[in-house]
């Protein structure tokens, strides 16, 4: 465990957890049907869902993009090392589970700054015997620290996949582009970058309503255009993979999204909107539902 993060004093860890303010990782956990969140996070998710009742499709298709991207990079791109920043809480089909199923010797470093994620980080470290996983307790805004600690597990002399999924929209332009530049500069030739990002290009009214619910709760929430998302690739000399920057559900769909938990209709009728989400499939998605761009690129 980089930085001895798992060895933190439990009392200190509890002190760091702010249960009075929603946190993006924990709100995401609500939408994915997890249990590692607090009432304030559930309230934030409920407000977002009330603003955009099909908004759970953004979260779930974003997660399914991650599955497809990691699969493609491991199977087709030969990538054996992944640096996943803004990891979020452990759920099914984490990066190491996907990558090590394909290449058992894959190495994965997770990075997040939420102490609740840290408290559950052991679930992210269940590597197969041939591979390795590690966790860094750090903020995306600390690229130098991330790279120094990641080097304990990742060999930066060999290609690395930098995973920035649903994290850059929480960072203002003045910091976001320099942060990505610093991270990409450390990657060797043949490395890949994976990005997903919220946008108002696609269904502006829906996503602006969601944006308001989050900014009212103190989140930085930057909606970027296709050109602004492309800039994370082009200004760093990366070559976009096909099909480029596209809505998340249109990035190499394979029809293999995890099926929802089955539920009796009578039982579903007793649930509130948030609890129903875990029982809803995502195959009925339309272009009017998605507000997330997704893309991968290669460093020549």
DSSP 203-227: -HHHHHHHHHHHHTTT-------HH
Please give the pLDDT value at position 5.
Answer: 46
Give helix 173-185 / helix 143-150 axis angle, nearest 10°: 30
Q: Specify the residue for token string 């919220």.
A: 198
- Cα gap 282→268, rounded to integer Å: 17
Sign of CA dihedral 223, 245, 290, 76: negative
- CB-count burial class (<10 Å; 0-12, 13-18, 19+) for 6: middle
> What pTM was computed for the model?
0.90
Regarding beta strands 239-240 and 107-112, do their DSSP bridges make them parallel or antiparallel, or are they unpaired? Answer: unpaired
Per-residue pLDDT of the chain (300 residues; tens, 9 = 90+): 343 345 556 666 666 777 778 888 888 888 887 777 889 989 988 998 998 999 999 999 999 999 999 999 999 989 999 999 998 776 768 899 999 999 999 999 999 987 777 777 766 677 778 889 999 999 999 999 999 999 999 999 999 999 999 999 999 999 999 999 999 999 999 999 999 999 999 999 989 988 988 888 888 889 999 999 999 999 999 999 999 999 999 999 998 988 887 788 898 889 999 989 888 889 999 999 999 999 999 999
- Cα gap 132→108, rounded to integer Å: 6
- Cα gap 116→26, rounded to integer Å: 8
- Cα gap 112→165, rounded to integer Å: 12
- Cα gap 213→47, rounded to integer Å: 6
Q: What is the DSSP letter of 260?
A: P
Please give the pLDDT value at position 218.
Answer: 81
Residue 178: CA count within 13 A, CB half-sphere: 7
Three-state DSSP class for residue 72: helix
Please give the pLDDT value at position 263.
Answer: 81
Q: Do 96 and 108 contact (CB within 8 A), yes or no? A: yes
């Amino acid at each position: 465990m980089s930085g001895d993060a798992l060895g933190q004093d439990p009392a200190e860890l509890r002190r760091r957890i702010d249960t009075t303010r929603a946190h993006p990782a924990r709100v995401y956990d609500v939408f994915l049907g997890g249990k590692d969140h607090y009432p304030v996070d559930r309230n934030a998710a409920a407000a977002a869902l009330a603003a955009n009742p099909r908004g759970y499709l953004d979260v779930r298709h974003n997660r399914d993009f991650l599955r497809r991207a990691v699969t493609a990079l491991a199977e087709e791109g030969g990538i054996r090392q992944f640096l996943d920043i803004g990891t979020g809480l452990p759920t099914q089909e984490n990066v190491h589970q996907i990558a090590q199923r394909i290449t058992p010797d894959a190495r994965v470093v997770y990075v997040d700054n939420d102490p609740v994620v840290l408290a559950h980080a052991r679930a992210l470290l269940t590597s197969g015997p041939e591979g390795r996983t590690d966790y860094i307790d750090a903020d995306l805004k600390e690229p130098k620290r991330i790279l120094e600690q990641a080097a304990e597990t990742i060999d930066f002399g060999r290609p690395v996949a930098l995973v920035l999924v649903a994290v850059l929209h929480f960072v203002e332009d003045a910091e976001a582009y320099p942060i990505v530049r610093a991270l990409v500069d450390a990657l060797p030739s043949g490395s890949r970058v994976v990005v997903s990002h919220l946008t108002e290009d696609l269904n502006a009214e829906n996503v602006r309503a969601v944006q308001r619910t989050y900014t009212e709760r103190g989140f930085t929430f930057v909606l970027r255009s296709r050109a602004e998302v492309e800039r994370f690739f082009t200004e760093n000399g990366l070559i976009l993979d096909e099909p480029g920057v596209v809505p998340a559900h249109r990035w190499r769909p394979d029809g293999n999204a995890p099926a929802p938990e089955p539920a009796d209709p009578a039982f579903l009728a007793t649930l509130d909107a948030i609890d129903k989400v875990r029982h809803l499939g995502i195959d009925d998605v339309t272009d009017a539902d998605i507000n997330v761009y997704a893309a991968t690129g290669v460093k020549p």
